[in-house]
Amino acid sequence: MTSGQSTRDRRLPGVLLILTAVTGVVDAVSILALGRVFVANMTGNVVFVGFALAGAPGVSHGTTAMAGGAFGPAVTDGLAALLAIAMGIQNAVARKLAVPDMTTTVLTMTLTGLGADLRTVVRDGRGAAGRAARATLGRRLLVVATMLAGAITGASLALDVSPVSALGLAAGLLTVAFGGAVAAARPR
């Protein structure tokens, strides 16, 4: 591994953590101001579509009315679509980079892995497997905490200031992530 690659590899987790925070902020806006739809985590949307197709009350497009009127229906739908596309691109990039436990949008496997890591830490203690499990456990906890912090911050801004301010924060974080990605890509 060249020194440029090692620098890149050290910077990528930070960039992906910023993108993970963006996910929390953006999903806070999408749930609280765009009609209770996830734009980053598609699993929930697939389930909601199933509910709507089965005729479940209150699960159709009418959830937009629950958003509290932050935007009109056309802006709500357009913004939700735009954010979903952006989060899909973010997820594709994170997948391509393949940094362990840094998917940036989906935490299911990260949360599942916490149990396995904890078991290995307890079982193997100070051995090499225990040290590796502690590092993985720490990284996974950091990812979960980062998304949680993004969600709390995004929700606070969306509820107490405006959904637009939360989206502004997301845009600012994306700018920082982009700068970090450019710096990580430069040969050293």
Distance CA 30, CA 79 (A): 9
Question: Tokens 């078991």 label which residue?
Answer: 119
Can you give the pTM of this predicted structure? 0.78
Distance CA 26, CA 39 (A): 7
In the chain, the amino acid numbered 172 is G
Residue 38 has pLDDT above 50, yes or no: yes
Question: Tokens 């436990």 label which residue?
Answer: 101
Q: According to the model, what pLDDT value does residue 52 have?
A: 74
Highest averaged pLDDT of the listed ranges 1-15, 30-44, 55-69, 159-173: 159-173
Mean pLDDT check: name the lowest of 12-16, 110-114, 126-130, 137-141: 126-130
Mean pLDDT check: name the lowest of 67-81, 90-104, 156-170: 67-81
Torsion angle, alpha carbons of 79, 82, 83, 88, to 10? 160
Residue 63 has pLDDT above 70, yes or no: no
Residue 100 has pLDDT above 90, yes or no: no
- List pLDDT tens digits, range 138-154: 888 999 999 999 999 99
Distance CA 31, CA 70 (A): 12
